[in-house]
Amino acid sequence: MSYRAGSPFYFEFCTSNPTTGAAADADATPTAVVNRNGVDDLAVTVTVTHIDTARYVASGTFPATYAADDVVNLHAVATVAGVTAKKPIANVVIGQKLFPTFQLTGKVKLGTTPTATAMTITLDAASALNAGMVAADFTGNGGLFLTFTGGARLPVPARIDGCTINTTTEVALTFNVGEFDAVGPAAGDPVMISG
Q: For residue range 62-114, list pLDDT tens digits in order.
A: 988 888 888 999 999 999 999 999 999 999 988 765 444 567 888 989 988 88
Instruction: Assess if residue 2 is contained within a domain.
Output: no
Banded model confidence at residue 184, pLDDT cuts 50, 70, 90: low
Which residue segment(s) compose the domain that 113 sits in?
103-194
- Quote the pLDDT of residue 145: 80
Contact call for residues 56 and 13 (beta carbons, < 8 A): yes
Long-range CB pairs of 13-22 (<8 Å, 24+ gap) are 13/55, 13/56, 13/57, 13/58, 13/76, 13/87, 13/89, 14/54, 14/55, 14/56, 15/54, 15/56, 15/78, 15/80, 16/54, 16/80, 17/80, 17/81, 18/80, 18/81, 18/83, 18/85, 19/81
- Quote the pLDDT of residue 149: 78
- Quote the pLDDT of residue 96: 61
Residue 161, pLDDT above cutoff 50: yes
DSSP class per residue in 52-99: ETTEEEEEEE--TT--TT-EEEEEEEEEETTEEEEEEEEEEE--PPPS
Percent over 90 (pLDDT), the chain: 42
Give the range among 61-70, 114-123, 146-155, 178-187 with minimum mean pLDDT: 178-187
Banded model confidence at residue 131, pLDDT cuts 50, 70, 90: low
Q: How many domains does the chain have?
A: 2
Query: Are 160 and 107 within one domain?
Result: yes
Residue 185, pLDDT above cutoff 80: no
Determine the Cα–Cα distance for residues 167 and 128; give it in Å rounded to an integer. Answer: 9
> Which CATH number fits the domain that encloses residue 134?
2.40.10
Angle made by CA atoms 45, 50, 52, in degrees to the nearest 5: 150
Please say which residue of 69, 93, 117 terminates a domain.
93
Handedness of CA 119, 95, 130, 189 (dihedral sign): positive
Query: Are 69 and 132 within one domain?
Result: no
Please say which residue of 44, 70, 93 terminates a domain.
93
Contact call for residues 76 and 89 (beta carbons, < 8 A): yes
Handedness of CA 13, 14, 18, 24 (dihedral sign): positive
Instruction: Assess if residue 18 is contained within a domain.
Output: yes
Q: For the residues 142-148, what does the mean pLDDT come to?
A: 76
Determine the Cα–Cα distance for residues 56 and 12; give it in Å rounded to an integer. Answer: 6
Give 115 or 164, the one with higher predicted confidence: 164
Mean pLDDT, all residues of the chain: 85
Residue 64's nearest CA partner among 12, 91, 102 is: 102
Query: Are 89 and 108 within one domain?
Result: no
Q: For the residues 56-60, what does the mean pLDDT come to?
A: 93
